[in-house]
Structure 1
Amino acid sequence: MTRTRRTHTRWWSAAGTLAAAALATVAITTPAGAGTAADEPAAAPISTRIVGGEYASTSEYPWVVYLTDSAGNQFCGGTIAAANKVITAAHCVTGGAPPEITVVSGRDDKNSDEGTETAVRDVWVHPDFQNASSGADVAVLTLDRDVTATPLPIATAGDLPEYRPGGATTVLGWGTTTEGGSPSSTLRQAHPPITSDQDCSRAYGGQYDPRGQVCAGLPGGGEDSCQGDSGGPLVAGDKLIGIVSWGNGCARPGQPGVYTRLGAYHDEVQAQLR
């Protein structure tokens, strides 16, 4: 059973408060496995941050951000794609998403008060989205004011070299560093290579759709995103080519992470960035 890489929290609306229970955070790992389909029950252990990765900084990657709920709990990642726009995964902002979302930019350590906190005033979810494993796992957040960070360009349908098997990538997030571990307090990065469609289909069968998804991971595992990294960026060629979406566990051999193939949704997403 697959899992999304979003960190799940539970709200008690009767009390009107958010109770902290982080059940699954997305993270970046060094093996090739990822999380499960959005909000499905999971048999696999869950992880909280990038696995097999290393420390990263928003000074090098100024466009990477994380999302928090009204209590300040980080639950997903995202990418600044325009002055007041952030791209994330649709499963981060649907089906139990917090009613209030804040985007945190320029903050390497979640325990610090560096950077900027910006409220979200509007959410666009791709109209074809049903759940993470079925594709179209992309959303665009409109912020209530501009941020100063330089946006990251998004891939187009013609950017085929960035999706070639074996190509180098960078995935970033504040999620778990091991399956079943705890979320990272600091931003981390990993570099899982692009997996061929054939290998990803062998791993996930009919759940994997190469038209709107792409996989990344090492055959033997060890580098991957994980719970808490959902919505975060997969980057190649200085472009946003993917969004952390789902997978089977984290950094497992033969189980690469599955990402939204952003080039397939370029036109719809670009229309939201204007």
Structure 2
Amino acid sequence: MRRPFARSWTGALATAAVAAALPLASPASAVADSVVIGGSPVRIAESPWVVALASRDRFGGTRSGQFCGAVVVGPTTVLTAAHCVSEGVLGVPLSRVSDLKVIVGRGDLGTAEGKEIPVREARVNPEYDAETNSGDFAALTLAEPLPQSYVIGMAGSGDTAYTAGTEATVYGWGDTTGSGSYARTLHAAPVRVLPDTVCERAYPGSADGTYSATTMLCAGELDGRRDACQGDSGGPLVAEGRLIGLVSWGSGCGRPGRPGVYTRISDVVRVLGDSA
């Protein structure tokens, strides 16, 4: 699926850029990262907190320039994957991307519905480790506020939504087949939260990454089939009406024994709280 590096919470867009490598994506490709395998189209009005991260300068006008997913957690705050704003994905330092935007209310990327809001500032998790993929998130500040109805709550430590077996949903505009069939419309796929031991066995430490239960969450199906894929990175994993994960990394898409790995939102809450 996806892969990441980071810098500090301080500064504006110029200080957020970091070099990164993304296994299944090349800089400035049609879509930089992971769509939903085994999913189906959904209406954006039913999940307005799902937004697209876009740059036409870097990724062209097709599909509105979308290259990663993101999620609204405050009127002016959006979360995405840290590796989405890296030089490895963007092809240039973030300071050279003049048109980074968040697209809200646009389920079909081939239309002009909804709104495109410029990103005023991007802060990469200072604890982000590109080698292990730990702490893969960045907080984006929007140039103008969104209605409160666009905001989804974040699940903190101890929330029952993290319990293994819990039904969850992953959203995105990424590859729907694992072979480069990118969706123009928002898709969602039902998955289950899996025991940490499943991902610890699948990803004990390799070029793909190293699974850590404190900063990561494992979700999917034991036999594969349903998963996030290229183009979905940074998008939300939702359970019991709360945000529990961000699409981060994995090995392939929907492969048996290789479930998707997500940034654990309880760790995001901890870091954001510490930085407040």
TM-score w.r.t. structure 1 length? Answer: 0.82
SS in 2 for 1:134: coil
* 5+ residue gaps, structure 1: 12-20, 27-48
Alignment of 1:62-101 (within 5 A): 62-71=48-57, 72-96=64-88, 97=90, 99=97, 100-101=99-100
Shift of 1:24: 4.6
- CA separation of 1:132 and 1:258: change in aligned 2, threshold 3 A: farther
Query: Which string of whole-angstrom CA distances, capped at 9 and with x for unpartnered residues, describes residues 80-129 of structure 1?
Result: 11111101111111234351311000001000100010000100111011
CA–CA separation in structure 2 for the residues paired with 1:211 and 1:234: 17
Other structure's SS at 1:59 match: helix
State the partner residue of 2:204: 205
1:59 paired residue among 36, 45, 52: 45
| Alpha-carbon separation, structure 1, partners of 2:31 and 2:158 | 38
How big is the shift at 1:163?
1.2
2:31–2:231 contact (8 Å) kept in structure 1: no
The structure with more strand, counted as a fraction of residues: 1
- 2:7 matched to which residue of 1? none
The alignment status of 1:220 with 2:220, answered yes or no, reads no
Rounded Cα–Cα distance in structure 1 between residues aligned with 2:257 and 2:248: 17
Query: 2-side partners of 1:168 and 1:133: how far apart?
Result: 26
8 Å CA contact retained: 1:110, 1:185: yes
Matches within 5 A, 1:127-166: 127-131=126-130, 133-148=132-147, 149-159=149-159, 161-166=160-165
Corresponding residue for residue 50 of structure 1: 36
Query: How many residues matched?
Result: 240
Q: Counterparts of 1:26-45 in structure 2 under 5 Å?
A: 26=34
Separation in structure 2 between the aligned mates of residue 10 and residue 123 of structure 1, nearest angstrom = 19
Give the direction of change, closer, same or farther, for the CA distance of 1:24–1:92 in structure 2 (3 Å limit). closer
Give the distance between the partners of 2:243 and 2:73, measured in 1 at CA: 9
Q: Distance in 2 between matches of 1:25 and 1:244?
A: 10
CA distance in 1, matches of 2:242, 2:269: 12
Instruction: Give the aligned residue type for 2:53.
Output: L
Tell me whether 1:124 sits opposite 2:115 in the alignment.
Answer: no
Q: 2-side partners of 1:64 and 1:83: how far apart?
A: 13
SS for the counterpart of 1:193 is: strand
Q: Is the 8 Å Cα contact of residues 164 and 192 (structure 2) preserved in structure 1?
A: yes
In structure 2, relative to structure 1, the CA distance for the partners of 1:154 and 1:114 (3 Å cut) is: same
Please say if residues 50 and 188 of structure 1, whose CA atoms lie closer than 8 Å, have aligned partners that are also in contact: yes
Unaligned residue ranges in structure 2 (runs of 5+): 5-21, 58-63
Identity of aligned residues (%): 40
Asked if the contact 1:132/1:245 (under 8 Å) is kept, the reply is: no
Q: Which has the higher helix share?
A: 2
Note the aligned Cα RMSD (angstroms). 2.0
CA–CA separation in structure 1 for the residues paired with 2:32 and 2:53: 15
